[in-house]
Amino acid sequence: MPFLSEVVLASGNTHKYRELSALFAPLGFSLIYGPERLDLDVEEKGKSYAENALLKATAWSRALGMPAVADDSGLEVQELGWAPGLFSARVASSDAGRIAWLLDRLRGKESRRARFVACVALVWPGESQTRVFLSEGFCWGRIATEAAGSAGFGYDPVFIPDRFNATFSELGEELKSRISHRAIACRALRDMLELPDMVKSLSVRSGETD
């Protein structure tokens, strides 16, 4: 496997860039913030987190001719039929609006069981084939009755992970980087990349990743 020196993040989300830079640091490659190289908007039309992550990573990899990594993630709440799920970022135009949307729908509900889900995709082009790596991570917990804490982003101020009595925003980024859905998915991807023969990787011919 040739040395992986640079990977572009297929996203303009600065929060994700900071998280993923730290999570991939042990592998020794440089994670490039996507907008520094290209202005590209990829429609997330997939029916799963994996499809959306792969759509984004493939588009950026092809456009730049270099390895690209993307994640797609969401919050799933059991009482809401596992919504908002794939539409977690689309229920409102801001983090505050999304949290308000969620708390309003859970007002008076006893069951607040929920989980964060993340899928991470790495697309690595080559002369004869493109290698595709996919991993998924889950973090179970519950939804708080009100927002608390200032760290993190998205639904972090209202998500309390299992075995804790504080939200991700209160627990801080250092702990989140060890137990979050995105951390778990990234560790799995790191394990794949560190395997000598990459026996867990999925290899496909270049141009067949649509």
How many folded domains does the chain comprise? 1
- CATH number of the domain at 98, please: 3.90.950.10
Please, where are the H alpha helices in the chain? 14-24, 49-64, 95-106, 168-171, 173-179, 181-194
Element (H, E) at 124: strand 113-124
Does the residue 38 lie in any domain? yes
Does the residue 183 lie in any domain? yes
Does the residue 172 lie in any domain? yes
Does the residue 173 lie in any domain? yes
pLDDT tens for the chain, 210 residues long, are 446 789 999 999 998 999 999 888 888 888 999 999 999 999 899 999 999 999 999 999 999 999 999 999 999 999 999 999 999 999 999 999 999 999 999 999 999 999 999 999 999 987 678 889 999 999 999 999 999 999 989 999 999 999 999 999 999 989 999 999 999 999 999 888 876 444 334 333 333 433
Give the closest residue to 206 by CA, choosing from 127, 121, 94. 127
State the catalytic residue, choosing from 72, 95, 156, 191: 72
For the question of residue 197 being annotated catalytic, the response is no
Structure-block tokens of residue 28: 């020794």
Residue numbers of the domain that contains 99:
6-205
pLDDT at 28: 81
Does the residue 210 lie in any domain? no
End-to-end CA gap in the chain: 23
Residue 42 buriedness (CB in 10 A; 0-12 / 13-18 / 19+): middle
Does the residue 17 lie in any domain? yes
Does the residue 1 lie in any domain? no
Does the residue 91 lie in any domain? yes
